[in-house]
Structure 1
Amino acid sequence: MGFSKVTDSILYVGVNDHEIDLFEGQYVVPNGMAYNSYAILDEKNAVMDTVDIRFVQEWLDNIAAALNGKKPDYLIIQHMEPDHSSSIAEFLKVYPDAIVVGNAKTFTMMQQFFGADVAPNREVVANNGTLSLGNRTLTFVFAPMVHWPEVMVTYDAQDKVLFSADGFGKFGALDVEESWACEARRYYIGIVGKYGAPVQALLKKAAALDIAKICPLHGPILTEDLGYYINLYDIWSSYGVESEGVMIAYTSVYGNTRKAAKLLADKLTAKGCPKVVLTDLARSDMAEAVEDAFRYGKLVLASTTYNGEVFPFMRTFIEHLTERNYQNRTVGIIENGSWAPMAAKVMTGLLENSKNLTWLDTVTIKSALTAENEAQLDAMADALL
């Protein structure tokens, strides 16, 4: 891939990965992933983060091309996840005099991953610490639990660039054209969604900076209308409602619960609901289902009773929500049970610790829809509008 210009003195030296099928062992990435790394050229030269070890040679070639015969003086590590750090040792074999820059937690994790001697030349920085490269000074701002405890971001005041670590990242390689918001939302909710409060804290710190470009560790460099991206991050991390609409998530064994969910969806559409998302949890990408639950302000859970409990895909879905601090939503429940309906009790129990949920009246189906159930679904549709 070589390198490309971010500014006259900041060059992109990252790589695209089209070999990966599951990111972090669970997220489907049909358009691959980008592992971003940057070279900053000054009196002293710095490289920002490394890449997945499978692409180390391509990355080293990119660095060599970008530096054009010069050597990097620093390797700055903002985040120790292996997709960003696993090439540190190989980098230091080529550039043994380079100083590795990180915070105390960075080096603790570095030793855990790679051994005590991986970075003999190191500079440990404090929160709001600085590093002069000559004409510019980099400032390091700690961002613990966005989404690991050692994370820090880096600000270059000269070019007004924020190197945002995993913040503002997305799924997808950089040689694929696609909408930013969809895959950035799935990435954020899936990976960072649990840590809304730390992200809010970071956004407040970023608001004090003059930022012209955001350079994340995944996804494209953001250069225009930064307010659009920052506003979405503010909504996501405060667990606000991004889009008006209703998500109906269902599981069904013989089709009767699916019929009820579809009937509710049809009633909502007929009544003018701006958006209705109907999702079969057994057949949909779970990460996309979770994304939709956080995107919209209203959620209906429809499930059959199964083994005196709730259908497994529904349990998994709700656990994904609660793990990510699901809150501030309106929730309706449709349960089905031929002799001992239990799904509603189980689902409400799973969500009992979620904050600020407004509950609608439960609709209970016994085997198949009745006229009474249809009237109850009509009332639920009205309550959701």
Structure 2
Amino acid sequence: MRKKVKNNVSWVGYMDWELQQFHGDEYSIINGSSQNSYLIEEEKTVLIDTVWAPHSFDFIDNLKQEIDLNKIDYIIANHGEIDHSGVLPALMEEIPDTPIYCTANAVKSLEGQFGKRGWNFHVVKTGDTLDIGNGKQLVFVEMRMLHWPDSMATYLTGDNILFSNDAFGQHFAVEELFNDKANQCILMKEAMKYYTNILNPFSPLVAKKIKEIVGLNLPIDMIAPSHGAVWRENPLQIVEKYAEWAEAYQEDQVTIAYDTMWEGTAKIAHRIADEIHKQSPDTVVKVFNVTKTDKNEIMTEVFKSKAIAVGSPTVGNDILTGIAGWMAFLKSLKFKNKKAAAFGCYGWSGGSVKILKEKLDEAGFNVVDEDITSLWNPDETDFEKIPALVKNLLA
């Protein structure tokens, strides 16, 4: 079912209420999501992106109810990832000669995923335009590494809509389509979670791209991403948020993440939290067992934090595997300008705290010298070291 976006622009995507995981099992979906595809019907008819292959039948069948597929003059492939391109093979069987406008890298990714099928590719770069009639044009803007090398955005003149693909999106199902109709708390939480877990590694590029888009002097009345709500009420608010988030964002918050075997490391974690409250009552403190809490939710809290403390007991002269996997993910997100501390227990031999400090340093954190390394179960001697650790962590 189509939903009107503005004038001759319609949403023809898929509202995915049942989706629970994304990127394999790497990203958790809590509030549903959407795969947004858009139809522009001016003198020329344009389809912007498709949806994921499992919804191929629904998408094409619904599209046929709205329009004769042979009337589609152009297809815009803003990004080759299969949640946006999955239906292309089935669609191109119906309309095989339809021109596909995309970046040079998108040709590589589409042919890499679906094979060389002789599709009619038209390669575009930033500033290229496509006349669609009635005085309107599409303007293409490369969005390299936001978040694939093939990504681009498409701007519709006249209606002043930026089809931003994965930038400015959220995994959030909004049946009413628009940001002003969505729950605002959930919307911004999901937008931040999306940025943290998908785009944060590319923050330097985000900052540059925002400056480039602003430099094009294109009036933007709407931002229509490929997931989640369309920004029509104050659409530049999400651009402003991205600009803020891209600059080593932090709030007055500390996140404590740990795993534990026999609760000793857990005790240290909670005593550190207590001490932070004593030394800085206004600082927000979050405490998570990484094996019992969704990793994407934890990383969103790390993104908001000015400092973190990470704990693990020693097992097999190493850290627990739950923490090890979590630390690998932490490193991949490339957080900047945040402090970190390490803590943990050991029995027959130690080593976990040293390993944690090394991994935190490799992940780009400023690691404080102080740590808490407890033999067997922590006692008051161990707890007495916590104030100095917290003082340095908050400094």
Aligned to 1:365: 374
For residue 90 of structure 1, what is the aligned residue in structure 2? 90
Match of 2:202 in 1: 195
Give the corresponding residue for 1:5.
Answer: 4
| Matched residue, 1:139 | 139
| Alignment partner, residue 123 of structure 2 | 124
- How far off is 1:122 after superposition? 3.1
Flag structure 1 segments of 5+ consecutive residues without an equivalent: none
CA change 1:218–1:378 in 2 (3 A) is same
* Residues 159-192 of structure 1: per-residue CA shift (max 9 Å, x gap): 1111111111111323395511222222222222
The offset of 1:92, in angstroms, is 2.2
Deviations 1:323-371 (A, max 9, x none): 1112210112112212432112111211333446252511221112222
Change (3 A) 1:380 1:48: same
Q: Does the C-alpha gap of structure 1 residues 323 and 69 become closer, same or farther in structure 2, counting only changes over 3 Å?
A: closer
TM-superposed deviation, 1:79: 0.4
Q: Which residue of the partner structure matches residue 346 of structure 2?
A: 337
Q: Which moved more, 1:290-299 or 1:105-114?
A: 105-114
Aligned to 2:110: 110
State, as a whole percentage, how many aligned pairs show the same letter.
26
Report the counterpart of residue 179 of structure 2 in structure 1: none
In the TM superposition, what is the alpha-carbon distance from 1:201 to its structure 2 partner? 2.1
Q: Which residue of 2 aligns with 1:165?
A: 165
Taking structure 1 as the reference length, the TM-score comes to 0.92
8 Å contact kept, 2:341–2:357:
no
Match of 2:42 in 1: 42
1:190/1:69 CA distance change after superposition, 3 Å? closer
Tell me the secondary structure at the aligned position of residue 252 of structure 2: strand
CA distance in 2, matches of 1:141, 1:261: 47
Q: 2:255 corresponds to which letter in structure 1?
A: M
The 3-state SS of whatever aligns with 2:42 is: coil
Partner residue in 1 for 2:273 = 265
Question: How many angstroms apart in 1 are the aligned matches of 2:200 and 2:126?
Answer: 24
- Say if 1:11 and 1:66, in contact at 8 Å, map to a contact too: no
CA distance in 2, matches of 1:334, 1:157: 56
Which residue is 1:60 aligned to?
60
Mapped contact 1:330–1:360 kept (Cα < 8 A): no
Worse-superposed segment, 163-172 or 102-111? 102-111
Q: 4+ runs of 1 displaced by more than 6 Å? A: none
| Structure 2 CA distance for aligned equivalents of residues 52 and 211 of structure 1 | 28
Partners of 1:141 and 1:201 lie apart in 2 by 13
Over aligned residue pairs, what C-alpha RMSD do you find?
A: 2.1
Partner residue of 2:259? 251
Aligned to 1:353: 362
After superposition, the C-alpha distances for 1:275-300 in whole angstroms (9 at most, x for unaligned) are 11000011111121222112211101
User: In the aligned structure 1, how far is the partner of 2:69 from the partner of 2:106?
Assistant: 29
| Cα drift, residue 110 of structure 1 | 1.9
Deviations for 1:42-79, whole angstroms, at most 9, x for unmatched residues? 11010100111221232224434444798211110010
Letter in 2 for 1:248: I
Q: Deviations over 1:191-213 (max 9, x none)?
A: 22322222222211222332121
Q: 1:232 to 1:306 in 2, by over 3 A?
A: farther
Indicate if the aligned counterparts of 2:168 and 2:238 stay in contact, CA closer than 8 A.
Answer: yes
- Cα 1:226–1:101 shift into 2, 3 Å: same
- Residue 215 of structure 1: SS of its match in structure 2? strand
Report the equivalent of 2:155. 155
Matches within 5 A, 1:211-290: 211-241=220-250, 243-271=251-279, 272-290=281-299
Which amino acid is the alignment partner of residue 30 of structure 1? I
Letter of the 1:297 partner, please give it.
K
Q: CA deviation at 1:261?
A: 0.7
Aligned mates of 2:312, 2:276 — CA distance in 1: 19
Contact kept? 2:38, 2:47, Cα under 8 Å:
yes
1:71–1:95 contact (8 Å) kept in structure 2: no
1:302 aligns with 2:304: no
Greater shift in the superposed pair: 23-32 or 230-239: 230-239
1:207 maps to which residue? 214
Distance in structure 1 (CA, Å) of the matches to 2:348 and 2:19? 46
Deviates more, 1:201-210 or 1:328-337: 201-210
Is residue 311 of structure 1 aligned with residue 310 of structure 2?
Answer: no
Paired with 1:91 and 1:189, the residues of 2 have a C-alpha distance of 33
SS in 1 for 2:339: strand
Q: Post-superposition shift, 1:30? A: 3.3
CA distance in 2, matches of 1:326, 1:103: 29
SS in 2 for 1:83: helix
Task: Measure, in 1, the Cα distance between the counterparts of 2:125 and 2:74.
Answer: 16
What is the rounded CA distance, in whole Å, between the counterparts of 2:30 and 2:187 in structure 1? Answer: 15
Asked if the contact 1:337/1:367 (under 8 Å) is kept, the reply is: yes
Contact 2:69 2:94 in 1 (8 A): no
Residue equivalent to 2:20: 21
Give, in whole Å, the separation in 1 of the partners of 2:364 and 2:393: 19
